[in-house]
C-alpha cells in the first residue's frame, strides 16, 4: 500500500499499516504521509484534529512477520505458495 492509500484510510478512521521493503523507506514513506496530511490541512479538506488523529492511526514498518511484499517467505523469496499466507 502506498502513502496515498494509507492517508485516505487513516483519514477515514481506519488503522493502517504500511509495509516497506527497505529500512530507509520507513522514513521516506512517513515523510510522504506527513506531507499528504499537511496538504489536506492546507487545502481545508481536513481539520487539525482529524489530521493529527490520522497520523496516529498509521504505522510504517519493514516487512510483515518476516514475509516479503511479493508473497513469498524469506527463505524462498518469491512465489512460495505454501508459506505465503503467513504463520
pLDDT of residue 16: 92
Higher pLDDT, 24 or 7: 7
- Report yes or no: 19 and 70 within 8 Å, Cβ to Cβ: no
Model confidence over 27-36: pLDDT tens digits? 999 999 999 9
Cα–Cα distance between 48 and 37 in angstroms, integer? 10
The CA radius of gyration of the chain, in Å to the nearest whole number, is 15
pTM: 0.69
Domains of the chain with CATH codes: 1-87 (3.40.50.720)
- Report yes or no: 71 and 79 within 8 Å, Cβ to Cβ: yes
- Length of the chain, in residues: 87
pLDDT of residue 65: 55
Amino acid at each position: 500500500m502506498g502513502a496515498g492509500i494509507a492517508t485516505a484510510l487513516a483519514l477515514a478512521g481506519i488503522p493502517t499499516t504500511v509495509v516497506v521493503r527497505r529500512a530507509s523507506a520507513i522514513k521516506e514513506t512517513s515523510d510522504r504521509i506527513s506531507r499528504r496530511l499537511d496538504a489536506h490541512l492546507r487545502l481545508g479538506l481536513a481539520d487539525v484534529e482529524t489530521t493529527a488523529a490520522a497520523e496516529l492511526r498509521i504505522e510504517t514498518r519493514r516487512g510483515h512477520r518476516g514475509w516479503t511484499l511479493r508473497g513469498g517467505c524469506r527463505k524462498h523469496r518469491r512465489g512460495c505458495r505454501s508459506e505465503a499466507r503467513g504463520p
